[in-house]
Structure 1
């Protein structure tokens, strides 16, 4: 709120709701005054993953058809990007809501089994991540058969810093991949260094046009392919991964805004050679 002090002098007061860099715009007759916007640092300006904590029963156990819920405390962590991924037997919809302590996240599994919950802040795992959530109950995907299928769902929360964004944004990107395997949980043989990616979509992209590339995982062992595209303001709106056979994948993504983007490709929890790529979108 503002208060008229005397002779056209005003006092402005506001209460920030989260740590990080805030930008205060002061305008007169619709135009910014000199030096506006003003940079205000609340709390710690730099991201500190060591100050992020997760709690809640949903990190460790759950039941099919019922939400698994947990809390991520980011109050003292500064400004950075919070990324939550859930890997497991069923594709899930991640729901991320801002609360006074940070963020409340929930997902509802539809198949029993072990789910891995990875929580990263500024690209670094927080304490305890990844968490193993053991889900019981009936398989609600009775119509699905075949070999073992693992899927991954991701929620990315971009917290404001500098001039990248004027406010916090919440975007959910769902990505899924499947593989045929007699040993679904055989992670010991993963070797991301032997996975190869090629295509124009790794070096350049055009606004509102599909960019494509291929990923060959034949020599990389048994794992899950994860792809993420991050822009100067928001994550990419569309990322499609299609298994075309023989452990090879076609990837398509579409960006809506110009700028410099980062393309991440992981096999399991490991970057493949070349990842992350930096792409200029024109």
Structure 2
């Protein structure tokens, strides 16, 4: 059934709307929603949101797009981003390689240029597993971005020994605080990268020693 629904749904059936597809301000969180108009019948059913691809072109490259699957009953995705330079941007949303209805979207960003160190200077990364972690266990750290206006540009990633997997996950716990968990599969030295608008926050990359 899932495969049948997949073939029936086309890029032209998917729509997007929201102020972030039209205009925004530098340093602010710009937001929009994408509607697949398909409701998964259960957790094992086909979900077209997994097949969507997002990118953004413009003066500040790249602009990280934070994508969250929300509202299971309507097949909606919430997307936010934080531009740091004013100018004309283009947001591309594709389904199976084809632009959805209205894409690419032309966006005008107003405001002053924001120096990247200003965005990152107050970000605080902390937690008992920021320096050491355990193999095959859930290790926890926290990121406080201080200003909710920049959380749309937050990204975290890890690099480790060859062949290692970390199962990194990040969830928002409070307005400015994010909980990051990682479960490395092998011991060794890992690097945790925490960035705002593709710029490392103070202390990033963080060196983490993972032991058995």
- The TM-score, its normalising length taken from structure 1, stands at 0.37
TM-score by structure 2 length? 0.48
Between Structure 1 and Structure 2, the one with more strand by share is 1
**Which protein shows a greater Rg?**
1
The structure showing larger relative contact order (alpha-carbon pairs under 8 Å, at least 6 residues apart) is 2
Larger helix share, 1 or 2: 2
